Structure 1
Amino acid sequence: MYLSYFGLREKPFSISPNPHYLFLSERHKEALAHLTYGLGEDGGFVLLTGEVGTGKTTITRSMLEQLPENTQLAMIHNPALSELELLASICDELSINYDTRHASLKSLTDIIKKHLEANNKAGGHTILIIDEAQLLAPDVLEQLRLLTNIETDHKKLLQIVLVGQPELQELLKRNELRQLAQRITARYHLLPLTQGQTVAYIKHRLHVAGCDQALFSLDAMQAVHQVTGGVPRLMNLVCERALVGAFAKQQHIIDSNIIKKSASESLPADFVAVTDTPTKHTPRWLYGLAFVALFAIGVGLSYIL
């Protein structure tokens, strides 16, 4: 609808993950470095957490592109599984044949162990990535820990990447999961983008979509950060609606007024943006202290005069 009007080849702010639009901010690069380091170690678990929409999928996909060719990868996107279902899902992902009618925790663990040992002997490496890992039950997490007991004298034969929302951090603080928590060799909590990164993000996506014109004014891009808190997914929603709104008004430059109206139309009514530099309100007791100090000074001056 608005593509030709703004000189765009395609929609620059679609919320669908598209590797072509990959934008690695400094925070994303730092997270990627931590995770890559963790996978380079011989430990069992690597942890990536962050709020919804902050770019965990972006980091995961970037990490996959850097894996060696001899890596066998298993990915689980819906971890609301029982212990048996989890092991069966791992077998499915790694193309391990098993008897579905007589499968048990022991039988599946045994064949996974044989597969990992054979893959290691052949010079391969095996990684399991679990998305939305905050949905894992404690007993399922314990089963994962037991899988990392499969090892040689030099390294563990299965590395596990847990990707989830902040609730995952709280889950791993539980006493019964302390052994698992001690096996995490690298962890990173992904924060939203800063204001400067937000500006760079918007320009990057417009450039990839075929437009290098300044469609968003500087105050508009700053407003995007203010109303979304720097969360990329929310930024996409607001910017997409802003392009539609500007086209409807036949306006070539998007200003902060359009952004604020777009935010009210596209973001949840109860959404409150959280940024790196929250507004600090002066505590009331400081006003009281200041009043007492001024009163004391006034009394002292009265004696002098």
Structure 2
Amino acid sequence: MSLLYLKHFELARPPFQITPDTDFFFSGSRRGGILSALQHVACHEEGIVIVVAEIGSGKTLLARLLIAHLADNVDSVYLANPRFSRDEIITAISRDLGLTDLSSSTEGSLARLHEELLRRHAQGRRVMLVVDEAHAMPPESLEEVRMLSNLETDRHKLVNIVLFGQPELDTLLADRKLRQVRDRVIHRFELPPLTSEEAEAYIDHRLRIAGWRGGRLFSPAAMALVIKASQGRARRINLLADKSLLAAYAKTAQRVDKSHVRTAFGDLDANPAQTRTAASRRGWRLGVSSFALGAFLSAAVAWWLAHPAASASPAPQTAAAVQDGMGTSSRAVSRKVSPVVSPVVSPVVSPVVSPVVSPVVSPVVSPVIAEPDPDMIITRTEAAVADPQQRGFTLQLATLPARVDLAKYLNKIKPHVDLSNVYAHRRNYADRAAVAIYLGSYPDEQAAREALSALPPQLRADHPVLRTWAGIRAEQHP
């Protein structure tokens, strides 16, 4: 059904399918930081890691993205359905590593697996076992996984283990019979529900990845209703947003309004009067960054450039007061991963103490630009984007059609910002050339949000958004 509205809204692909698709990964609400931390664990640390989240929060997508971006020397074993008995789980892991000559006994199969792990270790390779839906594992199977964590050389474990599960996994591990499993846990991460701001950025992010190039497709009232009913769960957002777009298409509407969302509720047998936001139920927490694109409508940009009076009043250059900076992550992580932000490590299950992986901040010095020089700004931006060490955040002010005179746009914003902090980057959206405009480079989300709130009204009116340099680097360029 989603295919019906693609042409109507000029989308290249369905934006809200519930099947996990790594192209649509949203790094906000700590997800990017957790992914980066998991990759660090895969390359440097040893033991059991657990990731806990409510149903429909993106666990499977995170697990698949983790496997897709492991370092070259890390081999993965992925168990999507862990409802194995004690005997079956060793066989499943062994076969996933390519072993076929297995013993008929569990002990024999475990010995053969141990030999294979030792062989790979001698070749300088690491093995990571990723178990999805781990809350559904029988306790005896979890205990068998714990036994795998005992396989080691005199210095190193032979297999790292990541368990993804619903909150019931915590309950399962609290059983006294599984205390030895619990004691092996070195990190515990939790995917929180999306806050209202993050959910809005998530919807915009998926629309942009799908090819949307206009302004806000959902009206404020429609967006608020989707967010309220979804309770911050990504899968629920996808279902409601998809059916809302279908309802708008059926009415030949060019924008989704509240009535279309109510129609979507009817299709899902949902009652918006009985829904509660996750903010009231759990107390939403701010996450890492939104991974979203901000954009002007082409007509709005053209009008703005043609009406000097619309932005003639000067405003203090407060956004430029934030010092440019960048953060770097470990070499093993940054070499393979592009759509993530700096590592963030969650609290560890007691009594294990988890090291905190912090970004290193170093200043970036930009040349002072007295007059707008588009070529100079584009050249400087290309160098920044191409540098894999350029980390942290920036503010995306606008996405301009390629035909718009960039010099004229820069003259428009010059009274409000320091041009030495402005970046302009050519890219393609849905195979159409465009120029994205960014402001500043900030070492962390807090600094970027402070700069965002300090923008003058003339720039805030077009809904600028936070971006990560890593995310920008991963996008399609001409």
Q: TM-score range by the shorter chain?
A: 0.7 to 0.9
Distance 1:277 1:269 in 2: 17
Q: Of residues 212, 217, 220 in structure 1, which corresponds to 2:219?
A: 217
User: 1:30-64 CA deviation, whole Å, 9 max, x = no partner?
Assistant: 32244234334443201011111101122212322
Match of 1:188 in 2: 189
Q: Of residues 56, 60, 63 in structure 2, which corresponds to 1:60?
A: 63
User: 1:14-42 CA deviation, whole Å, 9 max, x = no partner?
Assistant: 11222222221132123224423433444
- Name the Cα RMSD after superposition: 2.0
Q: Which runs of 5 or more residues in structure 1 are unaligned?
A: 281-305
**CA contact under 8 A between 2:151 and 2:158: conserved in structure 1?**
yes
Aligned to 2:93, the other structure's residue is in SS state helix
Q: Which runs of 5 or more residues in structure 2 are unaligned?
A: 284-478
Match of 1:107 in 2: 108
Post-superposition offset of 1:274: 4.3
Report whether the alignment pairs 1:253 with 2:271.
no
User: Residues 235 and 9 of structure 1: is their aligned pair in 2 closer, same or farther, counting only changes over 3 Å?
Assistant: same
Distance 2:271 2:84 in 1: 33
Aligned to 2:188, the other structure's residue is in SS state strand
Task: Point out which structure has higher relative CO (alpha carbons under 8 A, 6+ apart).
Answer: 1
Distance 2:282 2:142 in 1: 39
**CA contact under 8 A between 1:39 and 1:46: conserved in structure 2?**
no
Distance 2:6 2:82 in 1: 39
Distance 2:57 2:202 in 1: 13
Q: Of residues 23, 38, 52 in structure 1, which corresponds to 2:41?
A: 38
Match of 2:164 in 1: 163
Aligned to 2:279, the other structure's residue is in SS state coil
Q: How many positions carry a matched residue from both structures?
A: 278
Post-superposition offset of 1:66: 3.3
User: 1:85-105 CA deviation, whole Å, 9 max, x = no partner?
Assistant: 111101110001224xx5111
User: Residues 86 and 176 of structure 1: is their aligned pair in 2 closer, same or farther, counting only changes over 3 Å?
Assistant: same
- TM-score (norm. length: structure 2): 0.55
Q: Which structure is larger by alpha-carbon Rg, 1 or 2?
A: 1
Match of 1:22 in 2: 25
Aligned to 2:254, the other structure's residue is in SS state coil
Structure having the higher strand fraction is 2
Distance 1:274 1:50 in 2: 16
Distance 2:269 2:192 in 1: 19
Match of 1:11 in 2: 14
User: 1:201-221 CA deviation, whole Å, 9 max, x = no partner?
Assistant: 111111111112222112221
Report whether the alignment pairs 1:277 with 2:280.
yes
User: Residues 268 and 13 of structure 1: is their aligned pair in 2 closer, same or farther, counting only changes over 3 Å?
Assistant: same
User: Residues 273 and 61 of structure 1: is their aligned pair in 2 closer, same or farther, counting only changes over 3 Å?
Assistant: farther
Distance 2:84 2:242 in 1: 36
Post-superposition offset of 1:178: 0.7
Aligned-residue identity in percent: 32
- TM-score (norm. length: structure 1): 0.85
User: Residues 264 and 20 of structure 1: is their aligned pair in 2 closer, same or farther, counting only changes over 3 Å?
Assistant: same
**CA contact under 8 A between 2:29 and 2:192: conserved in structure 1?**
no
Trace 1:126-205 onto structure 2 (pairs within 5 A). 126-205=127-206
Structure having the higher helix fraction is 1
Post-superposition offset of 1:172: 0.3
Aligned to 2:259, the other structure's residue is in SS state helix
User: Residues 173 and 201 of structure 1: is their aligned pair in 2 closer, same or farther, counting only changes over 3 Å?
Assistant: same
Aligned to 2:141, the other structure's residue is in SS state helix
Q: Of residues 216, 238, 241 in structure 1, which corresponds to 2:240?
A: 238
Q: Which amino acid aligns with 2:163?
A: L
User: Residues 66 and 10 of structure 1: is their aligned pair in 2 closer, same or farther, counting only changes over 3 Å?
Assistant: closer
Match of 1:294 in 2: none
